[in-house]
A and B are shown apart, each in its own frame.
Chain A
Amino acid sequence: MDKYIVGLYDDEEVLLTAVKKVKQAGFHIHEVVTPFPVHGLDDALGLKPSRLHTVGFAGGATGLTIALSFMIWATAVDYPIIYGGKPFLSLPSYIPITFEFTVLLTAISMVVAFFIRCGLSISAKPKIYDERTTDYLFGLAIKVTADTSQDDYARINETFTNTGVAEIKVRDFDDDKK
């Protein structure tokens, strides 16, 4: 069962207060979708800081190690050759390639990690609660399960209404499969 109650708002300020109120009422917000970045939304939702930069650091460190060790092995160990009258192991000449490779792996690892984490693989089916959320509406989705009672439905609806919602809809992604 992949079913949500979605509150659609038409103003970002109303959305921000709504997020706080819905959280206060004790509901778990599954997702908030907005047509543009809303300042302060991360704080209101209590999201943890992104860990993407850790992936970037790991990618960069890998790139640095691979580039440096390969060049040292190739030009100083496996097939030592004198070029430019420099010693076999001359570090300054490795720096540009090391730098480029570090940047390359940092960028690629971050992009790949970002795509995987956001579920943006090639065959991925985007979950669109309402198409207007890509245009002018802000959507706040609460997940419902088989355990959710009629009472809960009523309470969610009431909370949404109290926060100045523009429209409430129930979105069941199982319907798409039929």
Chain B
Amino acid sequence: MTETYNISSGLKKAGAIFVGAGLVAVILGALLAGDHGIARIWSNLLICTYYFTGIGLASIFLIAAHQIGYGGWHILIKRIPEAMGTIVPVMGIFLLVILAGTLFHGHHLYHWAAEGITDPTSAQYDAIITETQGKSVFFNPVFYSVRIIAYIALWTAAIYAMRNISKKEDVLGVQATYQKSKYIAAIFILIFAVTSSTGAWDIVMSVDPHWYSTLFGWYNFASYMVGALATMILIVAYLKSQGYLKQVNQEHFHNIAMLMFGFSVFYTYLWFSQFMLIWYANMPEETAYFMARFDSGLFKFLFFLSLFINFIFPFLLLMRRDSKRSVERLVFASIVLFFGHWLDFYNMITPGTMTDHVTGESHAGFGLVEFGMLSVFVGIFVFVVFNTLTKQSLVPVNNPYLKESITHHTIK
């Protein structure tokens, strides 16, 4: 019953090509971008780090939610989201790099961290952050560092706890682990409930420090949740094409696709809730966020493009039952959605990071650096996740819900 996975040399080569070609593209793109090349690299580092952290967290959240909700259908593919979770500690390193850049003014991703922002005599002085809204209480280097390090520590600890208990289950049997795994899953959900929201404020929303949106955390969560489900479909489809996971059939694909469809609609619901309230109320400190995205042709295009490929496309394609059961169509939809939510994060972050906060000039671009950075991270993701998959049996043989997962089917 146990199934051992070995990375094929082709996949290793593909991963290396992704990283290598990505690095070349990033360097080339940064050189072409001239003065603002370095700023663009930082900005894209932030986008990709956050996106992949989110993908890792969302996949762990998916198993945790099934764990405490007595879910059983996913047991056959449980090891894939589990392995996807191990990307979070790796992304933690990049988060620390970005944090170091924030503290030592290596980049200008976060305007609130600029030198002299709270000093009335400085040219960088920002009255809104310092006095009007008093945001410097929350956004000051010390408290910010504590929070970022706490997120990384909590996420890493919770994800490793989930993984270890699942490893133990393979060896010791379910009697020893079942109850404990439920506690750990519940604790992870508690941690994630708070940190997904505050993390989104700290890492993404604070690139526009004057602006705030209460549902921003959930909006981010919905976005990377779709990314995680799309990645999961791609990995399961790849493993199946390599002859692994023989018991996984279209019933399981159907279920992941239903979740992907559902979360795409949920994403749009939150996207629209955020947009419509701001559009309707029309208050200057809030509309500034959307003004930045409507002023530039690039951002405006991406804004409506991401609505199209993240809502209308999956809504129409995945609505049909036979689409959810066709692996080819799902792989196509997953690739599009993976890029779609990456574009969404691009549009959340870039207008804030690539705009000069004093002159209001935008230096954003879209091209080699962006695709290069994504390619580097995809390469790292492939190495980390598939390497983790080799460490354990692909089928959790001792799980009490295994039979339920094997015989799972959806009602017509």
Residue numbers in A under 8 Å from B282 (CB-CB): 84-85
From A39, A50, A84, A85, contact of B409 by CB (8 A): A39
CB distance from A61 to the nearest CB of B (A): 12
Q: Is A96 an interface residue (CB 8 A)?
A: yes
Write the chain A residue with the least CB distance to B281: A84
Write the chain A residue with the least CB distance to B276: A92
From B272, B280, B411, contact of A84 by CB (8 A): B280
The reply to whether A93 and B412 contact each other, CB–CB distance below 8 Å, is: no
The reply to whether A95 and B272 contact each other, CB–CB distance below 8 Å, is: yes
What is the interface of chain A mostly: helix, strand, loop, or mixed? Answer: loop
Most A CB contacts (10 A, CB to CB) among B280, B282, B409 go to B280
CB distance from B175 to the nearest CB of A (A): 28
From A42, A84, A92, contact of B412 by CB (8 A): A42
Q: Is A49 an interface residue (CB 8 A)?
A: yes
The reply to whether A49 and B409 contact each other, CB–CB distance below 8 Å, is: no
A64 to B275, CA, bound (A): 21
Write the chain B residue with the least CB distance to A42: B412
Residue numbers in A under 8 Å from B280 (CB-CB): 84, 86, 92-93
Write the chain B residue with the least CB distance to A49: B412
Q: Is B279 an interface residue (CB 8 A)?
A: yes
Residue numbers in B under 8 Å from A86 (CB-CB): 280
CB distance from A81 to the nearest CB of B (A): 16
Interface residue total, chain A, C-beta cutoff 8 A? 12
Q: How large is the interface on B (under 10, 10 to 19, 20 to 34, 35 or more residues)?
A: 10 to 19
In B309-368, the 8 Å CB interface with A consists of 321
The reply to whether A95 and B276 contact each other, CB–CB distance below 8 Å, is: yes
The reply to whether B279 and A92 contact each other, CB–CB distance below 8 Å, is: yes
A42 to B321, CA, bound (A): 17
The reply to whether A50 and B412 contact each other, CB–CB distance below 8 Å, is: yes
Residue numbers in B under 8 Å from A84 (CB-CB): 280, 282
The reply to whether B409 and A92 contact each other, CB–CB distance below 8 Å, is: no
What is the interface of chain B mostly: helix, strand, loop, or mixed? Answer: helix
A42 to B409, CA, bound (A): 12
Residue numbers in A under 8 Å from B409 (CB-CB): 39
CB distance from A158 to the nearest CB of B (A): 33
A15 to B276, CA, bound (A): 55
Per-residue A-contact encoding for B249-290, CB less than 8 Å = 1, 0 else: 000000000000000000000001001100110100000000
Write the chain B residue with the least CB distance to A83: B280
Residue numbers in B under 8 Å from A39 (CB-CB): 409
Per-residue A-contact encoding for B31-63, CB less than 8 Å = 1, 0 else: 000000000000000000000000000000000
Residue numbers in A under 8 Å from B321 (CB-CB): 49
The reply to whether B412 and A96 contact each other, CB–CB distance below 8 Å, is: no
CB distance from A113 to the nearest CB of B (A): 17
In A42-60, the 8 Å CB interface with B consists of 42, 47, 49-50
Residue numbers in A under 8 Å from B412 (CB-CB): 42, 47, 49-50
CB distance from B286 to the nearest CB of A (A): 14
In B392-412, the 8 Å CB interface with A consists of 409, 411-412
Residue numbers in A under 8 Å from B279 (CB-CB): 92
Residue numbers in B under 8 Å from A85 (CB-CB): 282
Write the chain B residue with the least CB distance to A93: B280
CB distance from B177 to the nearest CB of A (A): 29
A39 to B272, CA, bound (A): 40
Per-residue B-contact encoding for A63-97, CB less than 8 Å = 1, 0 else: 00000000000000000000011100000110110
From B275, B276, B411, contact of A96 by CB (8 A): B276
A42 to B411, CA, bound (A): 9
A95 to B276, CA, bound (A): 9
A127 to B321, CA, bound (A): 33
A96 to B268, CA, bound (A): 12
Write the chain A residue with the least CB distance to B320: A53
CB distance from A42 to the nearest CB of B (A): 6
A47 to B321, CA, bound (A): 17
Write the chain B residue with the least CB distance to A96: B276
A121 to B113, CA, bound (A): 68
A109 to B279, CA, bound (A): 33
CB distance from A14 to the nearest CB of B (A): 19
A93 to B280, CA, bound (A): 8
A47 to B279, CA, bound (A): 50
A144 to B280, CA, bound (A): 67
CB distance from B145 to the nearest CB of A (A): 40
In A25-48, the 8 Å CB interface with B consists of 39, 42, 47
In A123-154, the 8 Å CB interface with B consists of none
Identify 21 residue pairs between A and B in the complex whose beta-carbon atoms are under 8 Å apart, listed by A's number. Answer: A39-B409, A42-B411, A42-B412, A47-B412, A49-B321, A49-B412, A50-B412, A84-B280, A84-B282, A85-B282, A86-B280, A92-B272, A92-B275, A92-B276, A92-B279, A92-B280, A93-B276, A93-B280, A95-B272, A95-B276, A96-B276
Residues of B within 8 A of A (CB): 272, 275-276, 279-280, 282, 321, 409, 411-412
Residues of A within 8 A of B (CB): 39, 42, 47, 49-50, 84-86, 92-93, 95-96
What 3 A-B pairs have minimum CB-CB distances, sorted nearest first? A49-B412, A92-B276, A92-B279
Given A86-B280, A95-B276, 7 other A-B contacts at CB below 8 A?
A: A42-B412, A47-B412, A49-B321, A84-B282, A85-B282, A92-B272, A95-B272
